[in-house]
Amino acid sequence: MSVKVSSQVLAEATVVALEGEINSTTSGGLQSQLLPLIGPSSVVLIDLTGVSYISSAGLRTLLIVHRHAQQLKAEITLVGLSEEVSFVMSATGFLDFFRIAEDLDAELERAGR
């Protein structure tokens, strides 16, 4: 089982859509796919609409990606969080680290400006 990762560049931003479950077995592979997509000063939108579950290991992967992005002065925004994912991230404090947006199109418009 793996997480499906698809990326495209839209309006100055890299949009990375994830699909599947992010857990201890899938997060290692996910991390190695995500990191090359983050360049210096890039704007990356990670679309989690297709993610039904993120485990503890999965949240750690996202945070590691975020910390890498900080070093490269890149900006990461999470989009499309399900209610459950959002709740778990909020209760455990992970949400505080990220920029969160609800609407992908609005974010793309913002990035294009």
Partner 1 sequence: MSTPDMRERIDAFPTHRIGPYRVRAGRPFPYGATPVPGGVNFSVYSDGATTMSLVLFERGGTRPSAELEFPLEFRIGSVYAMTVFGLDAENLEYGFRAAGPYAPEHGDRFDAGKVLSDPYARLISGREVWGREPDWDNVYHYRAQVLNDDFDWDGDRPLRIPAEDLVIYETHVRGFTRHPSSKVSAPGTYAGMREKIPYLRELGVNCLELLPVFEFDELDNPRTDPATGERLYNYWGYNTVSFFAPKAGYAATGPFGMQADEFKSLVKELHRAGIEVVLDVVFNHTAEGNEQGPTISFRGLDNATYYMLTPRGEYYNFSGTGNTVNCNHPVVRDFVLSCLRHWVAEYHIDGFRFDLAAILDRAPDGTPLPNPPLLEQLAHDPILRHTKLIAEAWDAAGLYQVGNFPNYGRWSEWNGKYRDTVRRFVKGEPGLVGELATRMAGSPDLYQGRTSSASVNFITAHDGFTLADLVSYNDKHNEANGEDNNDGANDNNSWNCGEEGPSASPHVRELRMRQMKNLLTILLTSQGIPMILAGDEVGRTQLGNNNTYCQDNELSWFDWGLVEANAGLLHFTQALIAFRHAHPVLRSSDHPSGTDRVGSGYPDISWHGVRAWAPDWADHGRVLAMMRCGRHAKGGSVADDHVYIAVNAHWEAHDLELPALPEGQRWHLFADTATAVHPLGAEPELQHPGRFHLGAHSAVVLVGRAAQQTTA
> Closest distance between partner 1 and the C-beta of residue 67, in Å?
8
Nearer to partner 1, 57 or 101 (CB): 57
Nearer to partner 1, 51 or 104 (CB): 51
The site for partner 1, by CB under 8 A, has a size of: 19
Nearer to partner 1, 53 or 112 (CB): 53
Cα 78 from Cα 43, distance rounded (Å): 11
> Closest distance between partner 1 and the C-beta of residue 90, in Å?
7
Query: 30 and 57 in contact (C-beta within 8 Å)?
Result: no
Cα 39 from Cα 49, distance rounded (Å): 23
Cα 91 from Cα 105, distance rounded (Å): 27
Residues 44-103 interacting with partner 1 (rule: CB under 8 A)? 55-57, 59-60, 63, 67, 87-88, 90-94, 96-97
Starting at the edge strand that comes first in sequence, how are the strands of the sheet with 43-54 ordered? Answer: 4-10, 13-22, 43-54, 75-79, 99-101
Nearer to partner 1, 2 or 90 (CB): 90
For residue 81, give the 3-state DSSP assignment: coil
Residues that bind partner 1 (CB under 8 A): 23-25, 55-57, 59-60, 63, 67, 87-88, 90-94, 96-97
